[in-house]
Amino acid sequence: MLVETREAAAADVRARLDPDLEPGEVRRDGGDLRVGAPGLPGLDGLRTAAAHAARSLRRAGGTVAWTATTAGEVRAIVEGTAYGAYDPGLYKQRYDGRPELTLALDAPADLHELAQRQEVVVRHLDATRNLANRPPNDLTPAALADHARSLAGDHLSVEAHGRDWIDEQRMGGLASVAAGSAREPRLIVMRHDPPGAREDVTLGLVGKAVTFDSGGISLKKALRMQDMKGDMSGGAAVIEATAAIAELGLPLRVLTVVAATENVQGNAAYKPGDILRISNGKTIEIINTDAEGRLILADALHYARSNGATHIADFATLTGAMVRALGDLYAGWFCNDETFAAAVERASERSGDLAWRFPLHPRYRRYIDSDFADMKNASDLGEGGAILAAELLREFAGDGPWAHFDVAPAYIARRRPDYALDQGGTGYGVRLIVELAEELIK
């Protein structure tokens, strides 16, 4: 999708809200595209209307125009148009020849820069969706690392480490989860070190990137297992958000760490009953090999904190418990610092990535108590699954502000009518991370 800030009259189609149509209904009348009021409040409704207008033109292409008068309207229209224009059919024969959709935005001159900023953000949001939608035989951990390397540029460096290096660093969580797969794991490290950045703040972004998750020996049910290609959506979001921050030239140091692996069965696969030693020396008893994300994040969190991150935010499609709690709309999040939490709240509200805060409390620590190790990776009680996972991660987040995002809406199993979202990756987290970076440089 291209964004042009020019007169709406130059567009092929002009879109407008029509309260007489049903929510989400789109009708074309010559050069006028009428969109039914979506029944959602404020800017979220405008974002949804723009998405439905763009979706109706996705196969035909062309130029659609909206008029915006405020910064919020610019954000909503650019983002909504990108959502509706996105085509998940990456591997269909016709994909490369699909028509281009252009957004012509009729807005005051002082909002043109914002429109171009949001075009950068949604381009990286689309790239995140592409990564999540790639099949696991194509997007291996090594392929994800290659993609991250392709994003390197001025003030953004990227490196990726393989199995031997992971073993040398004594990353027992990542090494053990990766042991069952013939696919090489990767620890991907991105560093954004721009001129003029504050010396006292480095944002650490940590992502889970399980490029396919069968559950390991604790095998998942076969129904919808194909969706487990999306278990790398948190890692994809932090990779693309880091690239967006660099492209926008935000004066903030960022250290991004992504643990990438498959979690499958094999003759070397880790087992229930194993005890793993993480890179900070703490040990974890394995109760369930399908609770693998917290194990690889443990090593990634410790690496980020040990290498200078002052504020850490991790993103992971971590627990089915969060899906059951919040469905496919909100992400759940946890935080150990109220000042940082306030910044996250502002970033979430401004970005449109909806997030609901869950509690951290030391009394929940008993859920991961183990008789044989420092902790265990799961509980058989069936209680507080998302919270006990957060409590385990807290053991490896180190000293300093830390937030954990359990991002259920990053990969969805069915269409969602708001934003005209198709099944698959949604790009959740990219907008929120960019806004959080803006918060930290204020």
- Mind telling me the catalytic residues? 220, 294
Joined together, the tokens standing for residue 256 give 């991004």
Joined together, the tokens standing for residue 139 give 């997007």
93 burial class (0-12, 13-18, 19+ CB within 10 angstroms)? exposed
- Could you tell me if 259 and 234 are in contact, meaning their C-beta atoms sit under 8 angstroms apart? no
158 burial class (0-12, 13-18, 19+ CB within 10 angstroms)? buried
| Interatomic CA distance for residues 220 and 230, integer angstroms | 15
Quote the radius of gyration of the chain (alpha carbons, Å).
22
Q: How far is CA 186 from CA 2, 145, 357, in A?
A: 33, 7, 31
Query: How many Cβ atoms sit within 10 Å of the Cβ of residue 74?
Result: 25
How far is C-alpha 39 from the chain's CA centre? 27
Positive or negative, the CA dihedral 128, 129, 130, 132 is: positive
What is the maximum alpha-carbon separation in the chain?
Answer: 72
- Could you tell me if 331 and 354 are in contact, meaning their C-beta atoms sit under 8 angstroms apart? yes
Summary count for the chain: helices (H), strands (E) = 12, 19
Classified as helix, coil or strand, 87 is coil
- Residue of 261, 2, 230, 53 whose CA lies nearest to 130: 230
| Interatomic CA distance for residues 364 and 228, integer angstroms | 28
Phi, psi of 384 (to 5 degrees): 55, 45
| Interatomic CA distance for residues 31 and 346, integer angstroms | 39
Q: Which amino acid is at 250?
A: L
